[in-house]
Amino acid sequence: MNGSIVQVVLFYLLAALALTGACLVAFSRSIVHSAFALLGTFVGVAGLYALLAADLVAIVQVMVYVGGVLILILFAVMLTARVDEGKESNPTVGKIPGLLAMLAMAGLLVVTAVKAFGPRTVISEANPPSTVSPIGNLLLSKYVLPFEAISVLLLAVLLGAVTIASGRMRKGAGGKQEGEAPR
């Protein structure tokens, strides 16, 4: 297929976007900049999903992570006291422990990835025209129990958040409202 070179170029562009975002998150001194840089990572990963013809996953990635998680993180960061002082709001553990943590995490990820897929596995040459209805059908037939269990979990989280927030409001310790209800 002639489009393969375009796909390769797109892949590297999107990967560069995701990695640049991740590096900015890790190395930025301002925690607000870190939070905003997450946007690049989320969008880059969504683009990679789209490149793999996983259209629904890509859209849901943008919707949940950019539209929900990132906004909540931004609200939390912006409400942080003394956010401009990097030492207070963005403390570091030093170079050696950081390097060790990074190596451990990278090793774990590489081992998992190689175990799951092997070095070069082509999952499927023929992409389905749409992944929406297969995913929907699977969620409501084969995986209906995990799906429902997750919704119960979310309900519990919601109730917990309300309990914590209302308890604090009754005591008057934090009179202001806590951003948005979890979605």
Partner 1 sequence: MNIMHYLADLLVRSLFKADPATWPYTWIAYAVVIGVGALLAFAFVAIFAGPVTWIERRIAGRIQSRIGPNRNGPQGCLQWLADGIKCWLKEDLVPATADKPLYLAAPYLVFTGMFGAFVVLPFGAHVIAADLNVGLLYILAVTSLVVVGLLMAGWGSNSKWALFGGVRSAAQLVSYEVPSAFSLMAVVLMAGTLSTQGIVGAQGGWPWQWFVFRNPFLFAAFIMYFISAIAEGNRTPFDLPEAESEIIAGYNIEYSGMRFLFFLFAEWANMWIMAAVATLAFLGGWQIPGISPERIAEAKGWTFVGWQALSFAIFVFKGTCLVFTIIQIRWTLPRLRVDQLMITCWKYLVPLSMGSATGVLLLMALVREGGIVDWVMRGAMLLVGLLVAGAYIRKVRATFMADRDNYKKMEGRDLWYPPYRLP
Q: Which residues bind partner 1 (CB under 8 A)?
A: 2-3, 5-6, 30, 32-33, 36, 39, 43, 55-56, 59-60, 62-63, 66-68, 70-71, 74-75, 78, 129-132, 179-181, 183
Least distance in angstroms from the C-beta of 50 to partner 1: 10
Least distance in angstroms from the C-beta of 6 to partner 1: 5
Least distance in angstroms from the C-beta of 55 to partner 1: 5
Residues 6+ positions from 1 with CB-CB distance below 8 Å: none
Contact predicate 32/106, CB 8 Å: no
Least distance in angstroms from the C-beta of 177 to partner 1: 9
∠ Cα 179 152 165 (to 5°): 30
How far is the C-alpha of 30 from the C-alpha of 97, rounded, in Å?
21
**Of residues 30 and 143, the one with the C-beta less far from partner 1:** 30
Place of tokens 């990572």: 41
**Of residues 63 and 101, the one with the C-beta less far from partner 1:** 63
**Of residues 112 and 137, the one with the C-beta less far from partner 1:** 137
**Of residues 124 and 177, the one with the C-beta less far from partner 1:** 177
How far is the C-alpha of 116 from the C-alpha of 131, rounded, in Å?
22
How far is the C-alpha of 29 from the C-alpha of 39, rounded, in Å?
17
